[in-house]
Amino acid sequence: MSEQKIQLTGLTPDAATVWVKSLGEPGFRAKQLYGWLVKGVGFDEMKNLPGAFLTKVAEQALAQPAAILERHVSKQDGTEKLLFVLHDGHTVEGVIMRYHHGITLCLSTQVGCAMGCAFCASTLQGKLRDLTAGEMAGMCYLANRLAGPDRISNIVLMGSGEPLDNYDQVTAFLRLISSPDTLNIGARHISLSTCGLPQKIRALAEEGMQVTLSLSLHAPNDEIRKQIMPIARAHSIDDVLQACRYYIEKTGRRVVFEYALIDGINDKLEHARELASRLRRMQCHVNLIPLNDVKERNLRASPRAQVERFLETLTQLNISTTVRRQLGNDIFGACGQLRAQRLKTPYQDDKQGDAP
């Protein structure tokens, strides 16, 4: 069964060497093998490795635990929405976003999500399972291959799933992908988005990795937050913000607060003033997000004029604030939308690439 096979993309170079030697093969084969894995290729493309060696490896391991099932390119801005199929048939999404400062990959950390946020399409099917470090790394390698000579320079863990609910695999992935032996993407070029698990935020602060913490706040008080984010029933805003302050203290990194503006729910100017009061004197930035409509939730985006008024109010109160640029609107660019659309239609084996 493929799920019992070793995911080579989840191994460090040293671990790969140990494993290759356990097969009775010379250690230098591991370096050759690893070089191909990072390029996002399958066994059939590893031209400088003996066929007998590859056959032996393939019996026990997966080269790429994911493949690209669908690829949609926005005609508006060149954003690429990817639907990956995993070795067990589950699907998750990724997005390649091109900016003047580089190429950013938005990556999922779980199949679905258990957090139940009312404004997010990723939660509609619930959480099916965690992704492994090898699956996350493998998807990065496949996306990097698509990105071409410009390569991926930034990663945001803002796809489906709650990264801190998959803590061990996510932190293993962060160490793996920042290694010079893989994509060498430094922690300062990686953002991790969480709905707010205080104990895990504190644990992450102790890891010694200076990733940017993005906190999905979306409300200025517990009353509103509980309406749209079930996690708020377990953790108050005060507890979450205290954990964020600890993260800032330990890492020296500012925290980004994500705030999706929902018409008539959390977008009044009094909400902006209350938010500013909570965040005053914190080393932080607020990222206002025009809501992507989720029909199943019956929630609407705030009018553009209201977004501008909210932004102006926060700015006047000395809170660093911007409005997130929307990309890929014509290709189900928001998290969970493409997968949700796919789940409504019969599965067809039209994947690009190979998941051995």
User: Which residue is catalytic, options 70, 80, 93, 162?
Assistant: 93
CA atoms of 321 and 241, how far apart (whole Å): 17
What 3-state class would DSSP assign to 57?
helix
Position of tokens 């008080």? 221
Catalytic annotation present for 93: yes
For residue 67, give the DSSP letter. E
DSSP labels, 114-125 = SS--TT-GGGTT
**CB contact at 8 A, 277 and 314:** no
> 47-55: long-range contacts at Cβ-Cβ below 8 A with a sequence spacing of 24 or more?
53/25, 53/29
Task: Give the containing element (helix H, strand E) for 61.
Answer: strand 61-62
Rounded to whole angstroms, the Cα distance separating 277 from 269 reads 12
Strands 102-107 and 110-112: unpaired
| Burial bucket for residue 315 (CB in 10 Å: 0-12, 13-18, 19+) | middle
Asked about 80 being catalytic, the answer comes back as: no
Residue type (1 letter), 253: R
Written as six digits, the tokens of 321 are 């604030």
Distance between terminal CA atoms of the chain? 11
The Cα 29–Cα 344 span in angstroms is 44
Q: Which whole-number Å values give the CA distances from 28 to 4, 31, 32, 59, 141, in the listed order?
A: 25, 5, 7, 20, 22
| 80-86 and 152-157 beta bridge pairing | unpaired
For CA atoms 257, 118, 302, 96, give the dihedral sign: positive
Task: Return the active site residues.
Answer: 93, 335
